[in-house]
Amino acid sequence: MPRHRRAAKKSHASFKHEGAFEGRVRDLTSDGRGVVSHPDGRTFFVPGVWLDEVAEIRVVGRHGKVGLGQVITLKKADPQRREAPCRHHGDSSDHCGGCPWMFMPYEAQSAAKVRRLKSTIQGLGDSTTQLDALLVAPDELGYRNRAQLKTDGSKLGYVAAGTRTLIDVTACPILSASNREVLAHLRKALPNPTWRARKQDWQTIDLDDNLEEPSLNKRLPFRQGNTQQNAVMREWLAQTIASISPDAPVLELFAGSGNFTEVLATHFKTVVAVEGDQQALQQLSHVAPDRIQAHALNLFSLPAVEAWISEQEGIRALVLDPPREGLKVRAPFLGALKELETVIYVACDIATWARDCKDFLAKGFRLARVTPLDLFPQTPHLEVLSVLTRA
C-alpha cells in the first residue's frame, strides 16, 4: 500500500479538529464542494472553491472517512470568479446553502456539469454513446417555479448547508417573479406567532407559482422546478418517442402527476403509468383517461414490484423518471420485460443513473444517447435524458 494511503488509513480512527493545511482542488463533488487532498493523503470536502484553486483550509470536522474543511484564504483563485448575485450566498452557517456554485459564471458551472457527466459515461464503457450538447437554461436567475420555505415565526427562509441553522432570506433571486412577490408578501407577516414551530425546529411553507395562496405545512406533489426547461424536456421526449411504434403499450415508472404521461399519450395508444403518491395519482387520472392505465405502487418494494410486473405483457418501451434513489428495485423489470427494446431514462442523480445503466448494459442494452439538461443553474444539479436500446 502506498505510504500516503497507509497514513490516511491510520489517521481515520483519531480524526479530530487539527489546524489547517494548504491544498489544491482536484475535483468537485455531486453536491458542489471541492475535493482537496491533505498532504498526508486524506480527502477533504470544502465548500466555496472551484477546480484547480489553491486554498489554505481549516479542518472543521469529518463525515465518515472524509474530512470537512473551510477556506481560510484562497491562495490561487479562479480568474473567472464573480460577485454572487445574491446577498445570502456564502459557505458559512450564516449563509443560505441553496446555490453553492453562484460564485462562478454560468458558463463555468455548465462546463463543470458536462465534465462530470462525460467522466461518468466513460466509466460505463460504451464507446458508441452519443453525448449531446448541454441544453442550457435560458435564465440563470428567476427560474424556480416552486421552493420550500421554512419558518420559526421570527425568521423565514432556507437552511444553511449541512446545518440546522435557519437563514432569514429577505430576497431570493432564483425564484420566479411571482414567487419573489409571494416571499416579499409573506415577510410582511413577520414576526408571526402562528408560524412558531412547536415540536420541530421550523414549519414549512411551499411556494408554487401555480398556487394562489401558500399554506403552512402543506406538502405538494412533485412538479419539475423549472417551467421553461420542463417544456424542453417534454419536447425532447416527444421527439425521442416519435420513431417508436405506438401500438405496443409503453410502461412509465414514477409518473408523478402526469407531466410526461401526457406527452406519451399523444403517441402511444396505451400508457401504463405507475406512481406511488396518491395526490399525484389523482391528478394523473385526469390526463387522457382513455389511453392511460394508472397504477398505485411502491416501486421500492421488491415483493410489490415482483407481483405486479409478472402481470404486464407486451411492453416494448419503458420510460422512467425516478427520484434520486434511481431504479432501486430493478431486477424484476430486467428479468420480466423480455420484449423490452427501448428504455428512456430521465435522471436527476448521475450516480444512481450510472448504477442502473450498468445493469441494463449487462442485460444486452447499449447506452445509445445522452442529452444533459440544466434544470437548476447556480447548483451542481444536472438532469440526464438518456436512451438505452437493445443491442
Ligand X SMILES: C[S@@+](CC[C@H](N)C(=O)[O-])C[C@H]1O[C@@H](n2cnc3c(N)ncnc32)[C@H](O)[C@@H]1O
Task: From 153, 169, 165, select the one nearest 204 (Cα to Cα).
Answer: 153
Residue 275 interacts with ligand X (CB under 6 A): yes or no: yes
Amino acid at 205: I
Q: What is the widest separation between alpha-carbon atoms in the chain?
A: 66
Residues 6+ apart with CB under 8 A from 227: 143, 145, 176, 209
Return the number of the residue (103 or 353) whose C-beta is nearest ligand X.
Answer: 353
Return the number of the residue (46 or 233) whose C-beta is nearest ligand X.
Answer: 233
Per the CB < 8 A criterion, the answer to whether 372 and 135 are in contact is: yes
Among 24, 120, 300, 358, binds ligand X (CB under 6 A): 300
The piece of 12-20, 78-86, 240-248, 250-258 that touches ligand X (CB under 6 A) is 250-258
In the complex, minimum distance from the CB of residue 237 to ligand X, in angstroms, rounded to a whole number: 10
Task: From 23, 16, 32, 203, select the one nearest 112 (Cα to Cα).
Answer: 32
Number of residues in contact with ligand X under rule CB under 6 A? 19
Question: β-pairing, 292-296 with 43-46?
Answer: unpaired
In the complex, minimum distance from the CB of residue 298 to ligand X, in angstroms, rounded to a whole number: 5
Residue 277 interacts with ligand X (CB under 6 A): yes or no: yes
Of 96, 172, 348, 357, the active-site residue reads 348
Per the CB < 8 A criterion, the answer to whether 55 and 38 are in contact is: no
Residue 321 interacts with ligand X (CB under 6 A): yes or no: yes
The piece of 8-16, 61-69, 257-265, 284-292 that touches ligand X (CB under 6 A) is 257-265
In whole angstroms, what is the distance from residue 143 CA to residue 248 CA?
A: 37
In the complex, minimum distance from the CB of residue 33 to ligand X, in angstroms, rounded to a whole number: 24
In the complex, minimum distance from the CB of residue 227 to ligand X, in angstroms, rounded to a whole number: 12
The number of beta carbons lying within 10 Å of the beta carbon of residue 306 is: 14
Residue 254 interacts with ligand X (CB under 6 A): yes or no: yes
172 is catalytic: no
Residue 280 interacts with ligand X (CB under 6 A): yes or no: yes
Helix axes 350-362, 106-124, angle to 10 degrees: 30
The piece of 60-68, 165-173, 296-304, 356-364 that touches ligand X (CB under 6 A) is 296-304
Return the number of the residue (58 or 267) whose C-beta is nearest ligand X.
Answer: 267
Strand ranges (DSSP E) for 130-281? Answer: 130-131, 146-151, 156-159, 166-168, 203-208, 250-253, 271-275
User: 3-state DSSP call for residue 118?
Assistant: helix
Residue 246 interacts with ligand X (CB under 6 A): yes or no: no
In whole angstroms, what is the distance from residue 91 CA to residue 101 CA?
A: 10
Return the number of the residue (60 or 296) whose C-beta is nearest ligand X.
Answer: 296
The piece of 9-17, 31-39, 184-192, 315-323 that touches ligand X (CB under 6 A) is 315-323
User: 3-state DSSP call for residue 11?
Assistant: helix
The piece of 74-82, 275-283, 354-362, 372-380 that touches ligand X (CB under 6 A) is 275-283
Residue 298 interacts with ligand X (CB under 6 A): yes or no: yes
Edge-to-edge, what's the strand order for the sheet holding 156-159? Answer: 166-168, 156-159, 146-151, 203-208
Residue 308 interacts with ligand X (CB under 6 A): yes or no: no
Return the number of the residue (15 or 300) whose C-beta is nearest ligand X.
Answer: 300
Residue 209 interacts with ligand X (CB under 6 A): yes or no: no
Residues 6+ apart with CB under 8 A from 347: 321, 322, 326, 353, 383, 384, 386
Among 85, 162, 220, 222, binds ligand X (CB under 6 A): 222
In the complex, minimum distance from the CB of residue 330 to ligand X, in angstroms, rounded to a whole number: 13
Among 110, 226, 259, 371, binds ligand X (CB under 6 A): 259
What length does the chain have?
391
Question: β-pairing, 292-296 with 250-253?
Answer: unpaired
Return the number of the residue (226 or 257) whose C-beta is nearest ligand X.
Answer: 257
Residue 349 interacts with ligand X (CB under 6 A): yes or no: no
Among 70, 109, 129, 224, binds ligand X (CB under 6 A): 224
Residue 229 interacts with ligand X (CB under 6 A): yes or no: no
Q: How far apart are the first and last CA of the chain?
A: 40
**Residues facing residue 84 across a β-bridge:** none
List, by residue number, the catalytic residues: 348
Q: Which residues bind ligand X (CB under 6 A)?
A: 222, 224, 254-257, 259-260, 275-277, 280, 298-300, 321-323, 348
